[in-house]
Chain A
Amino acid sequence: MTSNSVTFSLNGVDRTVDVPGAETLLDTLRDRLNLRGSKEGCLEGECGACTVLVDDRPIDACIYPTAACGGRRVRTVEGLSDGGVPSLLQRAMVRSGSIQCGFCTPGFVVAVTALLERESNPSRADIADAVNGNICRCTGYAQIIEAVQAVVADSLAAGTGQEVEA
């Protein structure tokens, strides 16, 4: 009576879960579906470490109800690499020193992926704006933004558009 059976597409595969009405998507992903890439940081939508895509929009999974996801397309950081092969963006982030403790990284990868799916040539300001809901306490953001700029420059040079989803 107070639990909901919810079916949604998770990284391309249909999954059905039985969840209490107010369960967050983050709890469902981490504790029921064993996808621990989305991190539990502030639990109040402040830090962005739990960012996932629902129908291509970035949301904080820690404050979004799983029961609202029925029939929708959920993508997590696990779905953005190809069978463990990091995406262009992930590789650029490693190269540029965008990752120190790494806790915030999945959230940044997801938010930037959403940006690059919309915008093939974002400005530095667009990039900064797209990650304004993601907090990083190690890098000072500069390397993260540089990594995104590098991916954008590479994919424009290659004339292939963005291939962040690898």
Chain B
Amino acid sequence: MQSPVRFHSATTFEEVVDALDELGSEARLIAGGTDVMIQLARGELSPQVLLHIERVPGLGTVAAGEGGLHLGALVTHAMVRSDPATCALAALADAARQVGGWQTQAIGTVVGNIVNASPAADLTPGLLVHDAMVHLSRRGSERTLPLDQFVKGRRETAREPQELVTGITIAPTPEHSGEAFVKVGRRKAMEVSIVAVATRLVVDPSTGTIADARVAVGAVSPIPHRAPASEQLLIGQRPTADLFAAAGRAALEGADPIDDVRASRRYRLAVLPRAVAQALSRSSDHVDAARSVA
């Protein structure tokens, strides 16, 4: 069973980009390994080298900076839950809290989650809501892509084999906003999402109407995506249960779920509008809560 793969634990950034430059797709990057190790055991991967990056310094921090909040490539789900800057962002923190169990969250990285590009990657909807940008580096050059251009398909990204993702930046959160993450699974813990939804609402305090709306859905199509029909319906309106229900139904546009062992296509389509409506209602509550504190 054991494939004769070489394991290289890198200790510097240069070592990683040099090795990627030399080996290209023969190298498989491994951070927490919670996806890679299972795919290896199942024979879905057969790299020559496992290029381990957990020891590379400088990639493990959450830092506020120019253009927003930067999450380094080694930021784990556990850190997203506990860091004061990210735990305030429910669309991310509540997603991180529901990735597998503690053992998964302790070492599984946010960047690994997006690069693995599962249709059910739980962090992707929240990152889409926050206009996440993905930073890639290779020897001698770097580039940045919006997350919605980075994820290309099921297990497919725009990353070149020579590139390391160094981190993600999320845009500053507007004032008067509230956000939420809703995951539908068969039980509360250790579940792959049947449907995942992240939403964010900005409510204009002077008019009480929705100034900006973000709805992103996962596990209902090969790529987690924003739901523009829902968003357009919400903007300019007053937040009400009826409006949220209508926006939920509008999210069916663009949804093309599969039947699998976890749920049928029919169930996913039935539950999606309700999950969206629930996420919107929680987002709206969070706007109100933030206002009453202020």
Contacts and interface: CB of A to CB of B under 8 A. Distances in A.
Interface of A: 1-2, 4, 20-24, 43-46, 48, 51, 57-60, 63-65, 67-68, 70, 111, 114, 129-135
Contact of A46 (B3, B33, B52, B190): B190
B52 A65 contact: yes
A56 to B, nearest CB: 9
Which interface residue of A22, A43, A135 has the most chain B CB atoms within 10 A? A22
What secondary structure prevails in chain B residues at the interface with A? mixed
Contacts of A134: 101
Nearest to B53: A68
Interface of B: 2-7, 9, 30, 33-34, 37-38, 40-41, 49-50, 52, 54, 78, 97, 100-104, 106-107, 188-190
Given A59-B106, A68-B9, A133 B101 contact: yes
A21 B106 CA distance: 22
Contact of B103 (A1, A4, A43, A48): A48
B50 to A, nearest CB: 6
Nearest to A23: B2
Contacts of A65: 7, 30, 33, 37, 50, 52
Contacts of B41: 43-44, 63
B7 A111 contact: no
Contacts of A59: 103, 106-107
Contacts of A24: 37
Contacts of A46: 190
A68 B52 CA distance: 7
Contacts of A22: 2-3, 5, 7, 37, 40, 50
Contact of A111 (B50, B103, B107): B103
Given A2-B4, A58-B103, 8 more contacts: A21-B6, A45-B34, A45-B103, A46-B190, A63-B37, A67-B9, A68-B54, A133-B190
